[in-house]
Chains A and B, each alone.
Chain A
Amino acid sequence: MAQMSAKKMKLLEDLQAVDFVLAELTLYLDTHPDDAEALQQYQETAEKRQEIKSAVETQFGALCRNTPLPEQNTPGWDEGPWPWQL
């Protein structure tokens, strides 16, 4: 499997960071369902997430099932390293 370059790893960390914000907001919204500001932050962050996720998938291949496969010449679901192998 390809050695992951620092640039690719940084891209993955960008996604981990934005997903972490979403995870925190998710838990917060579970107990504060009426906080409109938090809901808005969640929406905006989730939208930003889409772009970062696409960029990561171009490098790493599909991250999830049930979503369209990334373009040609990117690793498939079963190719590319698994998360604990990075």
Chain B
Amino acid sequence: MTTKSTTFRKKYKPVAGKNDPCPPLKEKSYETPPHLYLGFQPPGLEQFEPKEALAKGTLWPALFGPYETPKPVFDRKGKEEA
């Protein structure tokens, strides 16, 4: 049930076709935010201080899922997929 160090982003290797015109991405990812793993919120969870809660967008660290735009990871060989 723990969500402690669950990463909130999952990665996978997309298909790269031999005839793709653009340099293929080696890795794609998608968000799996914390609310997917929490279940019915239990009472008494740890809280942020008000200022930090406002900045982060939630009172509870257990519900906080930060977001950063992922950096594109290209296949080094480009079209010549191994």
Contacts and interface: CB of A to CB of B under 8 A. Distances in A.
Interface of A: 13, 16-18, 20-21, 24-25, 28, 31-32, 35, 37-38
B43 A37 contact: yes
A28 B38 CA distance: 14
B58 to A, nearest CB: 7
A63 B53 CA distance: 23
Contact of A16 (B54, B58, B59): B54
Interface of B: 40-41, 43-44, 50-51, 53-54, 58-60
Contact of A35 (B43, B59, B60): B43
Main secondary structure of the interface of B (DSSP, over half): loop
Contacts of A18: 50
27 contacts: A13-B51, A13-B54, A16-B54, A17-B51, A17-B54, A18-B50, A20-B50, A20-B53, A20-B54, A20-B59, A21-B53, A21-B59, A24-B53, A24-B58, A24-B59, A24-B60, A25-B59, A28-B41, A28-B59, A31-B40, A31-B41, A32-B41, A32-B43, A35-B43, A37-B43, A37-B44, A38-B43
